[in-house]
Structure 1
Amino acid sequence: MSEQARAREDICRIAKSMFDRGLTCGASGNISVRLSDGTLLVTPTGSSMGFLDPAKISQLDQNLRHLSGDKPTKEIPLHSAFYDTRAQTGAVVHLHSTHSVALSMLPDTDPENILPNLTPYSIMRLGRVKLLPFFLPGDAGMSTAVRGLAGKRSAVLLANHGPVVAGKDVWAATYAIEELEETAKLALLTRGMSPTALSPEQVQSIIRTFDVDW
């Protein structure tokens, strides 16, 4: 199987899995993958993640011109901001996952690091997650905000909208965004219960051991 064919199959399989588990619903969410030739495969606009057709996945050239497949998601500028500012990015996943969105709306959520340090895995897979302000869907301001981070964050949470995560490949980005959602869920479940979080020393040990970009 060619690199492109495998990537198309992976996008559809991952998208369906996330849809079936309620991590995204309706026609929300999008995924992109950068191929070795620099072109992008992107989920089409207005499509359900649960019912994607590999043959209809959009393909864009290095200048984001539409080459084939259905019309791409309007969030392309958001995805391209990660590709342009983080050379190691091979895929980007964006969801409207419930617990993450809920966390984005709470007034005491830390905008510099929206996730409390409850488990080592959110630290290992995400580093610090930046909360960005609300933008209208498709607003180019989202791309500008991500570019303003100068590649220092692999994950952001769009207020009242949802998380966006970049990874070295589509599997890494998927595992990371699922970890973000699960940690957000843990944060909400334990809210007001004074949970025992990881100590600053434990956090630093994780950062050193797993070479986390913190």
Structure 2
Amino acid sequence: MSALEDLLAAGVRVVGEGLSPGTSGNLSVRDGDRILLSGTGVSLGRMRPEQVAVLDLQGRHLEGAKPSKEWPLHVAFYQRDPGHRAVVHVHSPSTVAVSCLRPWSDHSAVPPLTPYFVMRVGQTPLLPYRPPGDPGLGEDLRDCPWELRAALLSNHGSVLAGAKLDEAVDRAVELEEACRITLLTDGLARRELDADAITALARQWSSPWGTRTTLGTPRR
């Protein structure tokens, strides 16, 4: 399956999973030195090839549709880590709701309530509020001091990366579920995973938790 076919299939999947109401959200996949990104105002479940934009790795528009205004988020993830080959940004209900709350900690807005969140997503910091499409969203993500493969955008939604689109969508589904459980248990005497359990899960599944990244290093 080509990168374009992967992108179109992922659009159908995120809508089917209930992660992308209306024309919200955007997806991208890295294809060599190009980024294929859903166009602006596109319903992801009905996205057609001519509605896909092509950017370079600096975010310059090369061809195709007008890119989503959230393109800085996608470029930032690819610049943070060359291992990221796909990015999903959605406004799914529970992640938006948790993005409107005070974060659980500096390194993760979402508490460690289930092993699956720690294993599949990892720490998910809350980035500062900026208007949709603000280039600063990309700067905040690129320069976030925590190791991450997911983040919440204050009062906005989530952004996640993976080595392929299926992996990034899987993480978006898991993060939505973790946020739903967070909301269901908010204000209750809930039990979080203890530090030893989190450390063991993060080590076994190579998941970021409580770890910082090195800022100022060259990015490819």
Q: Is the pair's TM-score, using the shorter chain for normalization, greater than 0.5?
A: yes
Cα offset, 1:151, TM superposition:
7.1
Aligned to 2:21: 25
Q: Which deviations, in whole Å up to 9, do the C-alpha atoms of 1:6-47 show, x marking residues without a partner?
A: 222222222122213321111110011001x21110000111
Mapped pair 1:132 → 2:115: no
CA RMSD of aligned residues (A): 1.7
CA contact (8 A) 2:57 2:78 kept: no
Which consecutive unaligned segments of at least 5 residues does structure 1 have?
none
Cα offset, 1:108, TM superposition:
5.7
Aligned to 1:49: 44
Task: Give the Cα separation in 1 of the matches to 2:103 and 2:3.
Answer: 39
Task: Give the Cα separation in 2 of the matches to 1:174 and 1:100.
Answer: 14
Matches within 5 A, 1:51-200: 51-107=46-102, 109-149=104-144, 152-200=147-195
Structure 2 residue identity aligned to 1:164? V
Cα offset, 1:208, TM superposition:
1.8
Task: Give the Cα separation in 2 of the matches to 1:31 and 1:70.
Answer: 14
Task: Give the Cα separation in 1 of the matches to 2:132 and 2:200.
Answer: 38
3-state SS of the aligned residue for 1:173? helix
CA contact (8 A) 1:85 1:150 kept: no
Identity %: 39
CA contact (8 A) 2:29 2:36 kept: yes
Cα offset, 1:187, TM superposition:
0.9
Task: Give the Cα separation in 2 of the matches to 1:56 and 1:123.
Answer: 35
Which consecutive unaligned segments of at least 5 residues does structure 2 have?
210-220
TM-score, normalization by structure 2: 0.88
